Homo-oligomer: A and B are copies of this chain.
Amino acid sequence: MAQRGDRIMLAHGGGGILMKELISFIVDKLGSNGAAPLQDSAVFDAPGARLAFTTDSFVVDPLFFPGGDIGHLAVCGTVNDLAVCGAEPVSLSLAFIIEEGLPFQTLERIIESIARVTREVGMAVVTGDTKVVEKGKADRLFINTAGIGLVRQGIELSSAAAGPGDAVIVNGTIGDHGLAILSRREGLDFGSDLVSDTAPLSRIILPLLEKTGGIKAMRDATRGGLAAVLNEIASDSGVCIRLKEESIPVREAVRRGCELMGYEPLHIANEGKFVAIVEGEKAEEAVSLMREHDLGRDAAIIGWVDEGPAGHVILKTLLGGERVVDVPYGDLLPRIC
């Protein structure tokens, strides 16, 4: 470490010996889950496969936050996009854009975090890329991950498949990620139990799909929160989604933080929460199964699918009134992921 200096230099991005050293450093830290990223491309067999393919860039600020970091988040984000398609995460690509001057130690912690979570879900980092830009031309570190997953046989999920009588289920409390980032960034203290929910949802979704039927659609509720994904499902399926406020799990600290800042918990980003649209008669069974899992302890039926007004999400409030749940217009919390 002393020999190569403590910080990433512009020259680490140049395609020469220094870049090779940087890549070796990354591959080494990734451990056995990252044997191949020295290669520009990975080649593998996928016999008779139905594949899911997804990508996300991560620009979260700060890089480290209560409950996670940008590396952990970058893997979970891609794993979750695959999992809600009913796909088992298989191969991950990992691309860093690094601002000159980033301490190696910071990169090291983030890569160790990536290695831990890829091992946890059994996903291999098979290809990667590293770019370095001048100081002031990026904000420390941006990560892009792309993922390939194998879609389980017989799984057909679609945001257009929701129908009247289906239940709307969420696997736990909402808004944790967004408020955790906000509290860390702004130095606000909403309560000690406020940590990001970032988690690899394949761990709960794949067993759930195996054990129960009747799941028609799934979406992870990231930017735009629960409101954005429910509106998308309502619109794609041409149905109305009716939520009951009293059923939606929200941590006290998140409720308090949202009140203080004037936010709506339904609009806040999550990184370990998904919505499942499940046939009515299977809903209780699905919730019971989810509650047996550490990522579904607070799972709950939060509403039902109704015929109309089509394309709308309507919330029955604690006080008994009804209001339309809109998609947020712009950006509540920039750089949340």
The interface of chain A, by Cβ under 8 A from chain B, is 9-20, 40-59, 81-82, 84-85, 87, 91, 93-97, 126-129, 131-134, 136-139, 142, 144, 146, 148-149, 151, 220, 222-225, 228, 269, 327-335, 337
Report the minimum CB–CB distance from A154 to chain B (whole Å): 14
CB <8 Å contact, B328 and A15:
yes
Give the complex CA separation of A16 and B268 in angstroms.
11
Contacting A146 at CB < 8 Å: which of B48, B93, B96, B329? B93
Give the complex CA separation of A217 and B330 in angstroms.
49
CB <8 Å contact, A15 and B224:
yes
Going nearest first, the 10 A-B pairs with the smallest beta carbon separation are A15-B223, A14-B331, A11-B330, A15-B224, A146-B146, A55-B93, A16-B328, A41-B54, A144-B144, A11-B331
Report the minimum CB–CB distance from A213 to chain B (whole Å): 20
Report the minimum CB–CB distance from A156 to chain B (whole Å): 10
CB <8 Å contact, A49 and B46:
yes
Give the complex CA separation of A29 and B12 in angstroms.
35
CB <8 Å contact, A16 and B55:
no
CB <8 Å contact, B57 and A14:
no
Question: Which B residues touch A49, using CB under 8 A?
Answer: 45-47, 49
Give the complex CA separation of A328 and B13 in angstroms.
12
Question: Which B residues touch A329, using CB under 8 A?
Answer: 11, 16-18
Question: Which B residues touch A87, using CB under 8 A?
Answer: 41, 43
CB <8 Å contact, B224 and A19:
yes
CB <8 Å contact, B48 and A43:
no
CB <8 Å contact, A128 and B55:
yes
CB <8 Å contact, B228 and A15:
yes
Given contacts A11-B331, A13-B331, A97-B97, A53 and B126 within 8 Å (CB-CB): yes
Question: Which B residues touch A330, using CB under 8 A?
Answer: 9-12, 14, 16-18
CB <8 Å contact, B41 and A52:
yes
Question: Which B residues touch A54, using CB under 8 A?
Answer: 40-42, 93, 127
Give the complex CA separation of A57 and B130 in angstroms.
7
Report the minimum CB–CB distance from A58 to chain B (whole Å): 8
CB <8 Å contact, B43 and A52:
yes
CB <8 Å contact, B14 and A334:
yes
Question: Which B residues touch A331, using CB under 8 A?
Answer: 9-16, 18-19, 132
Report the minimum CB–CB distance from A146 to chain B (whole Å): 3
CB <8 Å contact, B139 and A328:
no
Give the complex CA separation of A225 and B15 in angstroms.
8
Question: Which B residues touch A93, using CB under 8 A?
Answer: 53-55, 146
Question: Which B residues touch A222, using CB under 8 A?
Answer: 15
CB <8 Å contact, A82 and B51:
no
CB <8 Å contact, B327 and A16:
yes
